[in-house]
């Protein structure tokens, strides 16, 4: 009893989903997730993003209960769920390959989870029909998954999750099997549905566009460690580490290895005044390709080695010393490969990282 | 439609194959409709005769054996019960043990699987005396249980089910788990419907296996009430052979034709499932 009271007191302060020092070590000794802590609030849409093999899926699967937790504690809605069976956790997951039940009709695919919870036939009928209408798959209810297109399967997989009205939606790279056009469409739809229903959602992806557009907050993961947690804007404008700086943003942020002496960055024979008094022996100076200001009276001069035309924009590839960089500018400017161009790098737009630990200065 | 020489050749080969399969059966059937005198004097028949009703009626209802009590109809029932029991239990047990081997990651799963596999090298005929000893110690001679029980484990079927389950993607299990299915429900709601084809195929094979058992029922049964069709083939309608009467060839052919029916029936009934599963793979 006492223990319970302590728990209920804690409940008030607790977030909806809390991960505390979660570690996952596979039997073969691989450390997939290392000491990860994270709080997710009710109704939030959180995106786990990172390169493949970074542990983001493992983390998601631990929340779902499909993977044992080596160390640490996960609590959902005030209850520790470490040892609770996945079927009892009240979470729904959309898998990368949808994992629809091939021998069941669309209706039964959606109804299966409800049947297992002992809900009456009539209620199941109503719920499935409502969700099917919401997702515009009400014409397909009698079909088998093998008779559906990729986009329709995706909708059924979503419907199966929605109809159960779970505490959390988990999405494990659900859009990666769709073609580009459908992917954009489904992305918008997922966002719209999540807003509409207000269910806490975690979305795993390696695609930064998906991460930026979907997430209320983004969790950038690398090598089993959380590099940064923040809103898309924070992550983009103020990356905490060199990894985040490189990973988020397209085209990639330019990172120049440089020495900083008394607030002046030395990149080959180029000098950039940072308007401060830092001294770092081994630093990286980052600037996004679209933050490089090209103008006829710019301080620095370079030769455009390659020009990529993208329609409204173009990307110029050039070099400072032996370090390559790119800048993105409006394609209205007339610039061809081999031309020289002048540019400025503003000290307010640069990101500085210490190369010894990769963190922001 | 024009036929190319190669097509004609392949068709000829196929037709010859069909004739090779069908003609002996047709000869048996045609012969079974003749009376014994004409068979004796004229040999095997190609055309139908007039003794169909007489011969088949004799076969089904004549009381034979030493006790003069057992009828062929009774033997069909016995064989059918035995084959049905063996096939059903073999399929159920193999499917379940394969499920355990694939989905429950206990320590000795692999050695146990190989142990089961090795039993393929020890067919019933090899272990017939110990098996008989056990069954008779249990007091199961002259019972259906005794006929069926020693034959219900199948390494072959376990192996096939195991291979099939391994091809089912893990996500399906995970998704089912999140939908609240426990391991029992997963087996019933997922594995069984997904392996319908396998189940049908295994059932057919195992039914034929059970139906054609000879040595085991021969040793197991001393009571003629438990005789099976295959045993009867050796015993029935032969008692007059050495006497002055004519060999009862017509009845014997009728008996053979009848003995083919139950397996054919099983194949015909289950083949719809079987072929449907082959055409649309559901995975």
Residues from chain B contacting residue A109 (CB–CB below 8 Å): none
Sequence ranges of the domains in chain B: 71-236
Contact B277, B164 (CB under 8 A): no
pLDDT over 80 (residue B164): yes
As given in the structure block, the two tokens for residue A187 are: 């992305």
Cα(A300)–Cα(A169) distance, integer angstroms: 50
User: The whole model's pTM is what?
Assistant: 0.80
The C-alpha atoms of residue A107 and residue B131 are separated, in whole angstroms, by 51
User: B190 vs A113: CB contact, 8 Å cut-off?
Assistant: no
Q: What is the pLDDT of residue A5?
A: 43
pLDDT band at B283 (very low <50, low <70, confident <90, very high): very low
The token duo for A201 is 């959602």
Q: Which of residues 100-139 of A touch B (CB under 8 A)?
A: 101-103, 112-113, 116-117
Residue B247 — pLDDT band, cuts 50, 70, 90?
confident
Three-state SS at B193: helix
Q: Per-residue confidence of chain A (361 residues) as pLDDT tens digits?
A: 344 444 444 445 578 999 999 999 998 988 899 999 999 999 999 999 999 889 999 999 999 999 999 999 999 998 999 999 988 888 999 999 889 999 999 999 999 999 998 899 999 999 999 999 999 999 999 999 999 998 899 999 999 999 999 999 999 999 988 888 889 999 999 999 999 989 999 999 999 999 999 999 999 999 999 999 999 999 999 999 999 999 998 889 999 999 998 888 888 888 888 888 888 889 999 999 999 998 888 889 999 999 999 999 999 999 998 899 999 988 888 888 899 999 999 889 999 999 988 899 8
What is the fold of B71-236?
A: MetI-like fold (1.10.3720)
Produce one character per residue of A190-210: b if its CB has 16 or more CB atoms within 10 Å, e if not. bbebbeeeebbbbbbbbbbeb
Which domains are assigned to chain A?
A: 2-241 (3.40.50.300), 251-354 (2.40.50.140)
Mind giving me the DSSP string for B20-78? HHHHHHHHHHHHTTS-HHHHHHH-S-SS--S-HHHHHHHHHH--BTTTT-B-HHHHHHH
Bridge partners (DSSP) of residue A254 are A287
Read off the DSSP letter of residue B3.
P
B191 CA to chain A: closest CA distance, Å?
10
In this structure, how many other beta carbons lie within 10 angstroms of the beta carbon of residue B132? 16
Residue B185: list chain A partners with CB under 8 A.
116
Cβ-defined contact of B172 to A99 (cutoff 8 Å): yes
From chain B, the residues in CB contact with A86 under 8 A are 174, 177-178
Sequence-separated (6 or more) residues with CB below 8 Å from residue B181: A87, A112, A116, B189, B190
What's the gap between Cα B216 and its chain centre?
14
How many Å apart are CA A56 and CA A203, to the nearest integer?
10
Cα–Cα distance measured from residue B30 to residue A134, given in angstroms and rounded to the nearest whole number:
67
Q: What's the pLDDT score for residue A93?
A: 93
Whether B283 sits inside 8 A of A92 (CB atoms) is no
Q: In the prediction, which pLDDT does B277 show?
A: 57
Per-residue pLDDT reduced to its tens digit, B175-230: 999 998 888 999 999 999 998 888 888 899 899 999 999 889 988 888 888 888 88
Q: What is the pLDDT of residue A2?
A: 40
Q: Do B181 and A87 touch (CB under 8 A)?
A: yes
Taking the C-alpha atoms of residue A195 and residue A174, their distance in angstroms, rounded to an integer, is 18
Range among A209-218, B99-108, B116-125 rated most confident: A209-218
Q: Nearest CA to B257 among B41, B55, B15? A: B55
Pick from B172, B182, B282: CB nearest A87 = B182
What burial class does residue B122 get, using C-beta atoms within 10 Å of its C-beta: 0-12 exposed, 13-18 middle, 19+ buried?
exposed
Contact B177 A164 (CB under 8 A): no
Q: Residue A198 contacts by C-beta under 8 Å, 6 or more apart in sequence? A: A43
pLDDT at residue B64 tops 90 = no
The CB density around residue A263, as the number of other CB atoms within 10 Å, is 14
Cα A177 to Cα A97: distance, rounded to the nearest angstrom: 7
pLDDT tens digits, one per residue of B19-50: 999 999 999 999 888 888 788 788 888 888 88
Q: What is d(CA B82, CA B208) in angstroms, rounded to the nearest whole number?
A: 11
Q: Which of A358, A359, A352 is nearest to A264 (CA)?
A: A352
Interface residues from chain B to A (CB-CB < 8 Å): 169, 171-172, 174-182, 185, 189-190, 193-194, 280, 282-283
SS (HEC) of A65-88: CCCCCCEEEEEECCEECCCCCHHH
């Amino acid at each position: 009893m006492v223990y319970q009271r302590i728990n209920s007191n804690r409940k008030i302060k607790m977030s909806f989903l809390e991960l505390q020092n979660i570690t996952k070590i596979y039997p073969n000794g691989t450390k997939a997730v290392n000491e990860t802590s994270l709080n997710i609030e009710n109704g939030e849409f959180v995106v786990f993003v990172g390169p493949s093999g970074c542990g983001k899926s493992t983390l998601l699967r631990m929340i779902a209960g499909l993977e044992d937790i080596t160390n640490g504690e996960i609590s959902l809605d005030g209850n520790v769920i470490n040892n609770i069976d996945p079927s009892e956790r009240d979470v729904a997951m959309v898998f990368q390959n949808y994992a629809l039940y091939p021998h069941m009709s669309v209706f039964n695919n959606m109804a299966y989870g409800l049947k297992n919870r002992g809900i009456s036939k009539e209620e199941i009928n109503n719920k499935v029909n409502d969700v099917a209408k919401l997702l515009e798959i009400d014409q397909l209810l009698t079909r088998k998954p093998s008779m559906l297109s990729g986009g329709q399967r995706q909708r059924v997989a979503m419907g199966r999750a929605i109809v159960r009205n779970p505490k959390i939606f988990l999405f494990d790279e659900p859009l990666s099997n769709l073609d580009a056009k459908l992917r954009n469409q489904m992305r918008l739809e997922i966002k719209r549905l999540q807003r509409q229903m207000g269910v806490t959602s975690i979305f795993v992806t390696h695609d930064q566009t998906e991460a930026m557009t979907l997430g209320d907050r983004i969790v950038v993961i690398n090598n089993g460690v959380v590099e940064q947690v923040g809103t898309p804007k924070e992550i983009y404008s103020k990356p905490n580490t060199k990894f985040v700086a490189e990973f988020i943003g397209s085209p990639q942020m330019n990172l120049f290895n440089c020495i900083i002496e008394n607030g002046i960055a030395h990149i080959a024979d180029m000098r950039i005044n940072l308007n401060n008094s830092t001294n770092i022996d081994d630093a990286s100076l980052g600037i996004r390709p679209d933050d490089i200001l090209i103008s006829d009276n710019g301080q620095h001069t370079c030769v455009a080695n390659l020009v990529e035309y993208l329609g409204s924009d173009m990307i110029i590839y050039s070099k400072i010393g032996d370090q390559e960089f790119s800048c993105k500018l409006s394609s209205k400017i007339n610039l061809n490969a081999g031309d020289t161009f002048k540019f400025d790098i503003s000290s307010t737009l640069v990101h500085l990282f210490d190369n010894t630990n990769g963190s922001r200065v | 439609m024009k036929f190319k020489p190669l097509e004609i050749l392949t068709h000829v080969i196929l037709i010859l194959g069909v004739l090779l399969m069908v003609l002996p059966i047709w000869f048996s059937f045609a012969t079974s409709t003749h009376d014994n005198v004409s068979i004796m004097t004229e040999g095997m028949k190609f055309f139908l005769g007039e003794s169909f009703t007489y011969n088949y009626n004799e076969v089904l209802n004549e009381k034979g054996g030493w006790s003069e009590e057992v009828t062929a109809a009774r033997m069909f029932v016995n064989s059918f019960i035995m084959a049905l029991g063996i096939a059903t239990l073999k399929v159920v047990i193999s499917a379940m043990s394969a499920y355990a081997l694939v989905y429950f990651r206990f320590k000795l799963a692999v050695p146990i699987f190989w142990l089961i596999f090795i039993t393929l090298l020890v067919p019933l005929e090899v272990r017939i005396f110990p098996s008989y000893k056990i069954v008779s110690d249990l007091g199961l001679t002259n019972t259906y249980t005794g006929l069926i029980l020693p034959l219900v484990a199948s390494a072959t079927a376990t192996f096939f089910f195991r291979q099939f389950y391994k091809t089912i993607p893990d996500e399906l299990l995970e998704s089912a788990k999140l939908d609240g299915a426990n391991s029992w429900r997963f087996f019933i709601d997922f594995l069984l419907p997904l392996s319908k084809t396998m189940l049908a195929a295994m059932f057919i094979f195992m039914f034929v296996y059970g139906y054609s058992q000879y040595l085991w029922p021969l040793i197991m049964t001393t009571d003629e009430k438990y005789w099976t069709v295959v045993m009867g083939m050796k015993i029935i309608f032969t008692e007059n052979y050495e006497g002055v009467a004519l060999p009862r060839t017509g009845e014997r052919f009728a008996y053979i034709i009848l003995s083919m029916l139950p397996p054919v029936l099983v194949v015909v009934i289950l083949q719809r499932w079987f072929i449907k599963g082959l055409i649309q793979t559901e995975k």
